[in-house]
Structure 1
Amino acid sequence: MTARPRIKDVAELAGVAPSTVSVILNDVPGARVNTATRERVQAAARELGYLPNGLARGLRTRRSGTLALVSDVIASTPYAGQLIQGAQEAAWEAGYLLMLVDTGGDEVLERSAIRALRQQQVAGVLYATMFHRLVEVPDLLAGLPVVLLDARSSREDVPAVVPDEEAGARTAVGTLADHGHRRIGFVLDRNDGPAAAGRLAGYRAELAARGLAWDETLVVRAASTSDGGQEAVGTLLDMPEPPTAVFAFNDEMAVGAYHAAEDRGLRVPEDLSVVGFDDLYVLAREMRPGLTTVALPHRAMGAAAARSLLQLVTDPTAAVPSLQLIACPLVRRGSVAAAPHRR
């Protein structure tokens, strides 16, 4: 086996003192080293395959090369992969590792996990939730760089990265309007929150932009599940003048829309067009026809949040936006068609 290269080996190859190598490769703040020497040492380290001792550097700077993603139940949801991948890629690009902690929504476990992370001297924390909601930032995170991911706080000093719910809803409604639909129903989660409020605001705004009248009877609130969607869309389809299209709060409610249409002998999209929200891949792609939906940009959100956190880690005074809205793209499949002509 080849012995692991040491600072002494790099110093001999570069023709400098070991202390100079340590200063350069560990990025010691305020160190005065000319560019030629710095480049010579870095080249020698690359040639020998030398890596600085991360543990020793962490003990000296009181900061490790590790970020943490603390979540409630993200790791057990279908969204986890893209969210974590986006954050991990951004961390790796900057030379950091990402540590994942899923607390399952257990506050006691969360406190214990945060204490353990602080003992490990993590450089910063992404505090994430499985759906866009308001949170209280744990006091135990005080003093650490923190960025909220798919969540926001009443505290303006904690940056947040969230999906642009309103713009995503406008995209959904605009797509239906582009196909000639003038009566567009909206089945909405019965629980209030940033996602429900943003999507309702987008629905109303796009109707107004298209010159379509607001009709509160076309908005039906229900549980954000397949059964809830089936019940809510059934209510819309049983109206004297039913809508020709439905925008669903999420893909699960959109599945219910398919069932409600089938119960009444209607076809999607010939008799009823449907647009969902989330792009829950295991549902949206496998529906027949495939569900046109607005995607939650999990990978882009994860990456944006990690980059903001890294800015704060390297410079606590960095001008990081207090709120970043990430665009939600439309994924076209087969559930939207031209509005049918009805008497």
Structure 2
Amino acid sequence: MADVAKYAGVSRTAVSFVLSNRENANVSQETKHRILEAVQTLGYRPNAGARALASKRSDWYGIVTEIVTAPFAVDIIKGAQDQAWLSRRFLLIAPSDQADAVGPNQGMEDAAFEKLLEQRVEGLLYAATFHRAVHVPKSANEVPTVLINCFDADGKLPSIVPDERAGGRVAVERLLQAGHSRIGVINLDPNIPAAIGRLEGCREALAGAGLELDPDLVVPGYATADGGYEAACEILDKFPAGAGRPTALFCLNDRMAMGAYDAIKERGLAIPQDIAVIGFDNQELIAAYLRPKLTTVALPFEEMGALGVQTLASLTAGQPITAHQQMVDCPLLERYSV
């Protein structure tokens, strides 16, 4: 700053006022122009670390996520980043280890939170690969923190999650509208929130039409294409043609729908003429490139990322939030499989 002041022929105080955009500073436009010209010529940049220490504001939000290499990562990060930019905030992204059956690498996750806090972020986002309860490090309580696509197992932190129940309902309502009343369901792991919510929505849609879900038509595929194939084989082979065989399959994710396509075609059946298929997630590398293209329900990752930042902005500004857990609609995307 001393170099800038000397080059521009002004005081360091004037430089400070201009660079901090102080509104009530008595600095003429001509002086301001000289200072900004000096900054440009000398290549001066403010010390963000020092500024954050002094003001206790950094203009940074941190996001810890295990999904940086997952198909949905770009959407959730894009939604958060675009929303942050509207208020001139920036995202620092710290990857944690990919979750498995046991959970994420806790040591790596703890380190991710610590590194972001060392950068004086104003708030934190935590985004999960799939909808589930999570335990976040205690250090997350040092700044406002919002969870995305997951919820706090201890019930303390606000969260943004997909409305799984409404998504399941809209999928089955679409099948009912197309004239299907005998609907098979290829489930995820039955114990996870997505499976529970989507199946509840399925039952609600059927009940609205005066129907019940036949338990013999519900088979878990555990989220994989192979699992979807095996589950579809089991459902289709359980009932001879015209004797209770379902005319539609609701696959609770697109990978299982991909497997179901193979099982259906192996039996000489055509989609959607003989049997309709609807998926969930909208994994575009699958849904848009199956033949016929897959009608599916989209997980709203971009919207959840944006809403997470909106919620975080309210918290960091000391404003109350309207709901501890906010659910985001899962829209139906029409293609050609129904």
- Change in Cα spacing, 1:5 to 1:280, as seen in structure 2 (3 Å) is farther
Aligned to 2:69: 76
Aligned to 1:67: 61
- Change in Cα spacing, 1:273 to 1:57, as seen in structure 2 (3 Å) is same
Give the deviation of 1:7 after TM superposition. Answer: 8.1
Runs of at least 5 residues in structure 1 that lack an aligned partner in the other structure: 26-32, 337-343
Give the deviation of 1:21 after TM superposition. Answer: 5.0
Aligned to 1:341: none
Map residues 153-172 of structure 1 onto 2, 5 A cutoff.
Answer: 153-172=152-171
Map residues 182-261 of structure 1 onto 2, 5 A cutoff.
Answer: 182-238=181-237, 239=239, 240-261=243-264
Give the deviation of 1:305 after TM superposition. Answer: 0.4
1:8–1:18 Cα contact (<8 Å) kept: no
2:94–2:116 Cα contact (<8 Å) kept: no
* 2-structure distance, mates of 1:167, 1:302: 19
Aligned to 2:320: 318
* 2-structure distance, mates of 1:320, 1:60: 32
Aligned to 1:340: none
Number of corresponding residues:
320
1:277–1:295 Cα contact (<8 Å) kept: yes
* 2-structure distance, mates of 1:255, 1:203: 20
| Amino acid in the other structure paired with 2:81 | Q
Aligned to 1:173: 172
* 2-structure distance, mates of 1:211, 1:84: 42
* 2-structure distance, mates of 1:11, 1:207: 78
Aligned to 1:150: 149
Structure 1 range deviating more: 243-252 or 133-142: 133-142
* Equivalent in 281, 286, 289 of residue 286 of structure 1: 289
Give the deviation of 1:175 after TM superposition. Answer: 0.6
| Amino acid in the other structure paired with 2:325 | L
Runs of at least 5 residues in structure 2 that lack an aligned partner in the other structure: 40-44, 98-103
* 2-structure distance, mates of 1:57, 1:187: 54
| Amino acid in the other structure paired with 2:51 | R
- Change in Cα spacing, 1:197 to 1:48, as seen in structure 2 (3 Å) is same
Aligned to 2:42: none
Give the deviation of 1:132 after TM superposition. Answer: 0.7
* 2-structure distance, mates of 1:300, 1:191: 26
- Of all paired residues, the percent bearing the same amino acid is 39
2:18–2:32 Cα contact (<8 Å) kept: no
1:244–1:271 Cα contact (<8 Å) kept: yes
* 2-structure distance, mates of 1:127, 1:227: 31
Give the deviation of 1:44 after TM superposition. Answer: 5.3
- Change in Cα spacing, 1:40 to 1:247, as seen in structure 2 (3 Å) is farther
Give the deviation of 1:212 after TM superposition. Answer: 1.6
- Normalised by the length of structure 1, the TM-score is 0.84
2:4–2:15 Cα contact (<8 Å) kept: no
Q: Does residue 80 of structure 2 align to residue 87 of structure 1?
A: yes
Secondary structure of 1:98 counterpart:
strand
* 1-structure distance, mates of 2:224, 2:159: 27
Aligned residues: CA RMSD: 2.9
> What CA deviation, in whole Å up to 9, does each residue of 1:163-209 have, x standing for no partner?
11111111110110000001111110134111111101100111111
> What CA deviation, in whole Å up to 9, does each residue of 1:286-309 have, x standing for no partner?
100000000111111111101111
Q: Does residue 102 of structure 2 align to residue 98 of structure 1?
A: no
